[in-house]
Amino acid sequence: MGNAKTDKNLLGRREFLSGLSALTIAGNMDPLMVKDEMGFPETSRADERIRMGLIGFGFRGEQLARALGYATEEWILAQKTNAEKNHSHTALKDFYDLDDLGIEIVGICDVYSVRRLKGEQVFKGKARGYTDYRELLKDNSIDAVIIATPDHWHATMAKDAARAGKHVYLEKCMTRTPEEAVQLWQIISGEGITFQLGHQGRQSDANHKARQLIDQGTLGKISLVETTTNRNNAFGAWQWPVEEDGDENSIDWALFEGTAEQKRPFEAERFFRWRCWYDYGTGMAGDLLTHEYDALNSIMNIGIPNSAVASGGIYHYNDGRDVPDVFQANFEYPDRKLSLIYSGTLANGTPRGTLIMGTDATMELGKSLRVWAESESTKYKNRIEAGIIDPSKPMVNYSRDNLEIDGLTSATSKYFADRGLMYTYQGGKRYDTTHLHLAEWINCIRKGKQPSCNIDKGFEEAITAHMATLSYRNGVKVYWDADKEKIVTN
């Protein structure tokens, strides 16, 4: 395996504690602690450790590994340097403070040999490496899998894993097509496994507070929601680095293409920047709209809209992509007398957040959660007239944590930080929201329960995103036919 100080391998956090003498480490380091649904520790025995396989070890795969307590030495050293330069930079301390979730990774899979070998090193021979995920699923000792691959593989891998009796944690968008969403929903629902879709924003304390306020009737009758995505840098527009080592010898191109509708000759740019093409990804609807939609669904339980109409285009990134870089969609919920409007651009970074507009107050979710009373509110009329409430000032003001976000460019970092997608607080302690989302899934596996972003919520997310995509690509208004379980045009 070589010297750990020279190889850019992956190390367990407990193995690296001796190198942190300059930092104060706090928190519970009991190796047998996991989180229950309410965020409180619960003891599990060593013989109850869940054996997992990790499918996909790219950018998101590494983030998921860190959320489970393992990081590249390169990342650890970079964060240590950052902490030495700036004491407010706490990413490394937060990493070492993570609770051990009582799991063991025994398989790592990637079609790119460089990533696969990098992933294997995390466990120093304790995890077997695979190029083909189907070989990993044959390991009967594996209880669960985490899938962090391009979108066009999500449904097939999740269905195969469920049929093999494995619990599934699947990154969003849940599927690439609506037909796949229906199939996966039916299969997961019938297999009795624990499924979690990777919308870690469900763990955000600000979103939880937003739901409490809405449930209490703070806003009155809500009729309009506006939500947005603004990013303005190459990374945020999926122009990810094309690695020099990525060629036909190191990448199994046939396995990567897999279920893609269009088969093409090897092209490294398509492999590393797959989100730029509908062959492999789901565009702004599947990657960005879904963050905002799922947050709103967790807050308001809005479900699948009755109709959607979308528009946009490729107005900035003339790099060969076929997914838009400016996109907007309108969703109608006539039964709730509610409209949801989404708009996004990859060519401007002005933060706009989310507005939830009711008859009595308006809520803004972004860098902070703020609520303003409506000047014409009947609910707050007496207090407004008495000068107790000033409609020009927020009557609720809750700030999100907005510290540094590691491994992302600044504009993209702001986007993720503002939406609570990286860190949140529980009991005064800062947590990685992905860690909490994985912890919820793992604890539900142990208890035989379903987590917050289960297959039903994942289905609602997927169909909503696909409605917007189909409307955009076909230039028509689309509707959800619940009886036929199909998106239709009339």
Identify whether residues 233 and 104 lie together within a single domain.
no
Tell me the pLDDT tens digit for each residue of 345-404: 999 999 899 999 999 999 999 878 999 999 999 999 999 999 999 999 999 998 755 433
Identify whether residues 14 and 111 lie together within a single domain.
yes
Considering the domain boundaries, does residue 244 fall inside one? no
Identify whether residues 191 and 209 lie together within a single domain.
no
Considering the domain boundaries, does residue 438 fall inside one? no
| SS (HEC) of 340-362 | EEEEEECCCCCCCCEEEEECCEE
Identify whether residues 74 and 138 lie together within a single domain.
yes
Considering the domain boundaries, does residue 429 fall inside one? no
Comparing 40-44, 262-266, 477-481, which segment has the lowest mean pLDDT? Answer: 40-44
Name residue 398's beta-bridge partners: 369
Provide the domain count of the chain: 2
Rounded alpha-carbon distances, angstroms, from residue 292 to 57, 132, 214, 280: 25, 33, 17, 21
What b-and-e string marks burial along 395-408, b requiring 16 or more CB atoms within 10 Å of the CB?
bbeeebbeebbbeb
Identify whether residues 178 and 213 lie together within a single domain.
no
Q: What is the CATH number of the domain that holds 75?
A: 3.40.50.720
- The DSSP code for 171 is P
Q: Which of 465, 436, 392 is nearest to 207 (CA)?
A: 436
Q: What is the CATH number of the domain that holds 273?
A: 3.30.360.10
Round to whole Å and give the CA distance between 66 and 429: 18
Q: 249: burial class by Cβ within 10 Å (0-12, 13-18, 19+)?
A: exposed
Residue type at position 148: A
Strands (E), 201-348: 222-230, 307-313, 326-333, 338-345
Q: 253: burial class by Cβ within 10 Å (0-12, 13-18, 19+)?
A: middle
Identify whether residues 362 and 408 lie together within a single domain.
yes
Tell me the pLDDT tens digit for each residue of 88-142: 888 898 899 898 999 999 999 999 999 999 988 877 778 999 999 999 999 999 9
Tell me the pLDDT tens digit for each residue of 198-219: 999 999 999 999 999 999 999 9
- Is residue 344 within 8 A of residue 304, CB to CB? The reply is no
Identify whether residues 184 and 215 lie together within a single domain.
no
Identify whether residues 111 and 211 lie together within a single domain.
no
Identify whether residues 417 and 465 lie together within a single domain.
yes
Host domain of residue 70 = 10-201
Q: What is the mean pLDDT of the chain?
A: 87
CA atoms within 13 A on the CB side of 272: 17
- 67's CB contacts (< 8 A; 6+ apart) are 98, 432, 434, 435, 437, 438
Q: Which of 135, 146, 139 is nearest to 61 (CA)?
A: 146
Any idea what the Cα angle at residue 250 is, between residues 322 and 70, rounded to 5°?
Answer: 90
Tell me the pLDDT tens digit for each residue of 242-267: 999 999 999 999 999 998 989 999 99
Rounded alpha-carbon distances, angstroms, from residue 409 to 93, 237, 433, 455: 21, 11, 19, 32
Cβ neighbour number for residue 48 with a 10 Å cutoff: 11
Considering the domain boundaries, does residue 128 fall inside one? yes
What does residue 386 show for φ and ψ, rounded to 5 degrees? -80, -5
pLDDT given at position 29: 25
Round to whole Å and give the CA distance between 169 and 65: 13
Identify whether residues 301 and 383 lie together within a single domain.
yes
Identify whether residues 210 and 157 lie together within a single domain.
no
What b-and-e string marks burial along 19-32, b requiring 16 or more CB atoms within 10 Å of the CB?
ebeebeeeeeeeeb
Identify whether residues 157 and 213 lie together within a single domain.
no
Confidence of residue 25 (pLDDT cuts 50, 70, 90): very low
